[in-house]
């Protein structure tokens, strides 16, 4: 029995307004191939299928096409889809009965009736119709559903209540699973922030009470040999537990581009209760690269760019400037696109038309930010031989321009003089 754990696809996501649809298609094609190459029996998706609660038609199409291709071109016998905090529980659950025909088990959300937990258990059957594994399917749960009430409670009391409620839930699920079958592996899922989450993990907080921080690893009943988690976009094993985050399969931020994307494969050998866990790196279509410095320095860094991914990276540029310039963005884009369009033409210097920003050979500049820097020492207009009363209005204006790093040319000075002249009429 082999299970593949993935999560946080965020279909429909964009980076600074640029669609990631192409990146998601690249991942889904890779995943289909991997399911076949690894002879996966169960695919487990631990939440945040979509980036928005109301996904676009393109995102829905990608999702349903993928599920259809699994049923037609792989040996996967069960797909488990769980809702995350970005998903709409009702939207995920709506086609659940129909998707059963494709052996897809969907749990969009969890109700407040925690005494009726059988519907959250997904038994996996062998070829001779015997239960060989049970998965407790826990989606994202709002604290209200767990019975957590925060009014008039201290932070310590809220933390204790969260821990107790989650611990009780996982214990009840393990009890129910053992009623179905004895001596078979038990797996649980979850979509939450657990021990090991870092402050700048994207995202960290998931519940409304952000002050409680991450949940401890001992909320998971020890009878679960593996807990497949979603929500944190970095892949890692939660300390002192059998819980793992698979992380997002495509980099959705600069930080995520600095670490490998991954899925986990669980291999249960014959009569083995605890699986062998293998981390498989997911290839990415392109990364997100941050470049900062003064304009000429940024140009040099961009021209030295190299990448091993199929497509060039997204560029997030931070330009240090003495003063803001409206034309800087256009100038940078034109320079970068012109440069890369030339070098891709067999490295000749023949002038070419500037290619589209979405060219396969031109990095996509997704963000340009200008940061004012102070090259000159700030001048305090009060630290002069003359007092403020002795300075003319024009002298004060000039000093203020210096303090704000605003370039003062003749046109600006003329406009100021004209304004003062009109005020004095």
Question: Does residue 220 sit in the same domain as residue 122?
Answer: yes
Confidence at residue 19, expressed as pLDDT on a 0 to 100 scale: 92
Measured distance CA(7)–CA(48) in Å, rounded: 7
Confidence at residue 204, expressed as pLDDT on a 0 to 100 scale: 53
Measured distance CA(84)–CA(139) in Å, rounded: 6
Tokens of residue 17, six digits: 């307004």
Show the 3-state SS of 57-121: HHHHHHHHHHHHHHHHHCCCCEEEEECCCCCCHHHHHCCHHHHHHHCEEEECCCCCCCCCCHHHE
Question: Does residue 247 sit in the same domain as residue 221?
Answer: yes
CA dihedral 100, 235, 315, 325 (to 10 degrees): 100
Taking alpha carbons only, the member of 285, 286, 295 closest to residue 368 is 295
Asked whether the beta carbons of 230 and 215 are under 8 A apart, the reply is no
Tens of pLDDT, residues 211-233: 456 788 899 999 999 999 999 99
Confidence at residue 412, expressed as pLDDT on a 0 to 100 scale: 79
- Whether 379 maps to a domain, the answer reads no
Tokens of residue 350, six digits: 């023949």
Question: Does residue 168 sit in the same domain as residue 199?
Answer: yes
Question: Does residue 140 sit in the same domain as residue 68?
Answer: yes
Whole-Å CA distances, 217 to 170, 184, 306: 12, 23, 41
Look up tokens 């300075």; give the residue. 391
Asked whether the beta carbons of 254 and 314 are under 8 A apart, the reply is no
Question: Does residue 307 sit in the same domain as residue 258?
Answer: no
- Collapsed DSSP state (helix, strand, coil) of residue 244: strand
To 5 degrees, how large is the angle CA 130–CA 131–CA 134?
170
Q: Looking at 351, 372, 393, which one is the last position of a domain?
A: 372
Confidence at residue 196, expressed as pLDDT on a 0 to 100 scale: 74
Question: Does residue 235 sit in the same domain as residue 217?
Answer: yes
Measured distance CA(366)–CA(358) in Å, rounded: 11
- Whether 98 maps to a domain, the answer reads yes
To 5 degrees, how large is the angle CA 264–CA 9–CA 39?
40
- Whether 238 maps to a domain, the answer reads yes
For the chain, the domain total comes to: 2
Confidence at residue 207, expressed as pLDDT on a 0 to 100 scale: 53
CA 148 from centre of chain: 27
- Residues in the chain predicted with pLDDT less than 50, given as ranges, are 208-211, 346-358, 376-382
Measured distance CA(53)–CA(316) in Å, rounded: 27
Q: Looking at 242, 267, 282, which one is the last position of a domain?
A: 282
Q: Looking at 226, 247, 282, which one is the last position of a domain?
A: 282
Whole-Å CA distances, 150 to 20, 101, 213: 38, 42, 15
Question: Does residue 94 sit in the same domain as residue 167?
Answer: yes
Question: Does residue 296 sit in the same domain as residue 277?
Answer: no
Asked whether the beta carbons of 344 and 364 are under 8 A apart, the reply is no
CA dihedral 87, 88, 90, 93 (to 10 degrees): -20
Measured distance CA(165)–CA(94) in Å, rounded: 28
- Collapsed DSSP state (helix, strand, coil) of residue 6: strand
Measured distance CA(415)–CA(396) in Å, rounded: 15
- Whether 175 maps to a domain, the answer reads yes
- Collapsed DSSP state (helix, strand, coil) of residue 95: coil
Tens of pLDDT, residues 273-299: 999 999 999 999 999 999 999 888 999
- Whether 275 maps to a domain, the answer reads yes
For position 156, which CATH number holds?
3.60.21.10
- Whether 179 maps to a domain, the answer reads yes
Statement: the pTM of the whole predicted model exceeds 0.75: yes
Question: Does residue 114 sit in the same domain as residue 11?
Answer: yes
Whole-Å CA distances, 335 to 201, 325, 357: 34, 16, 12
The proportion of the chain whose per-residue pLDDT surpasses 90, expressed as a percent, equals 53
- Whether 76 maps to a domain, the answer reads yes
Question: Does residue 275 sit in the same domain as residue 304?
Answer: no
| 275 phi, psi to nearest 5 deg | -80, 155
Report the helix count and the strand count for the chain, using DSSP H and E: 9, 17
Question: Does residue 179 sit in the same domain as residue 129?
Answer: yes
Question: Does residue 271 sit in the same domain as residue 299?
Answer: no
Asked whether the beta carbons of 184 and 133 are under 8 A apart, the reply is yes
Measured distance CA(169)–CA(110) in Å, rounded: 11
- Whether 328 maps to a domain, the answer reads yes
Tell me the residue range of the domain where 348 lies.
288-372
């Amino acid at each position: 029995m082999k299970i593949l754990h993935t999560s946080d696809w965020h279909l429909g996501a964009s980076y600074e307004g640029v669609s990631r649809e192409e990146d998601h298609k690249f991942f889904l094609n890779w995943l289909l191939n991997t399911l076949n190459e690894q002879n996966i029996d169960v695919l487990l998706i631990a939440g945040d299928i979509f980036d928005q609660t109301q996904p676009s038609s393109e995102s829905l199409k990608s999702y349903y096409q993928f599920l259809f291709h699994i049923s037609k071109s792989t040996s996967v016998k069960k797909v488990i889809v769980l809702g995350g905090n970005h998903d709409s529980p009702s939207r995920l659950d709506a086609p659940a009965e129909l998707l059963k025909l494709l052996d897809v088990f969907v749990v969009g959300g969890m109700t407040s009736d925690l005494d009726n937990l059988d519907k959250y258990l997904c038994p996996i059957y062998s070829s001779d119709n015997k239960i060989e594994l049970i998965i407790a399917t826990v989606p994202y749960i709002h604290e209200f559903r767990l019975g957590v009430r925060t009014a008039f409670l201290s932070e310590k009391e809220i933390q204790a209540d969260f821990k107790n409620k989650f611990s009780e839930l996982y214990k009840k699920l393990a009890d129910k699973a053992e009623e179905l079958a004895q001596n078979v592996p038990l797996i649980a899922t979850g979509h939450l922030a657990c021990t090991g989450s870092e402050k700048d993990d994207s995202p960290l907080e998931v519940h409304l009470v952000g002050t409680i921080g991450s949940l401890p690893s001992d909320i998971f009943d020890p009878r679960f040999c593996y807990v497949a988690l979603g929500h944190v976009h970095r892949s890692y094993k939660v300390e002192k537990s059998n819980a793992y985050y698979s992380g997002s399969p495509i980099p959705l931020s600069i930080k995520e581009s600095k670490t490998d994307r991954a899925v986990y494969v669980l291999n249960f050998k014959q009569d083995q209760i605890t699986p062998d866990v293998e981390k498989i790196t997911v290839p990415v279509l392109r990364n997100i690269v941050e470049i900062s410095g003064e304009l000429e320095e940024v140009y040099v860094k961009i021209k030295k760019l190299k990448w091993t991914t199929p497509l060039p990276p997204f560029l997030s540029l931070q330009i240090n400037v003495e003063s803001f310039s409206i034309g800087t963005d256009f100038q940078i884009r034109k320079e970068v696109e012109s440069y890369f369009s030339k070098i891709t033409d067999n490295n000749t210097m023949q002038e070419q038309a500037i290619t589209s920003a979405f060219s396969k050979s031109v990095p996509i500049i997704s963000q340009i930010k200008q940061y004012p820097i102070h090259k000159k020492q700030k001048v305090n207009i009060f630290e002069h031989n003359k007092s403020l009363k002795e300075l003319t209005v024009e002298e004060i204006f000039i000093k203020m321009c210096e303090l704000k790093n605003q370039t003062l040319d003749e046109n600006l000075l003329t406009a100021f003089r004209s304004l003062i002249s009109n005020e004095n009429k």
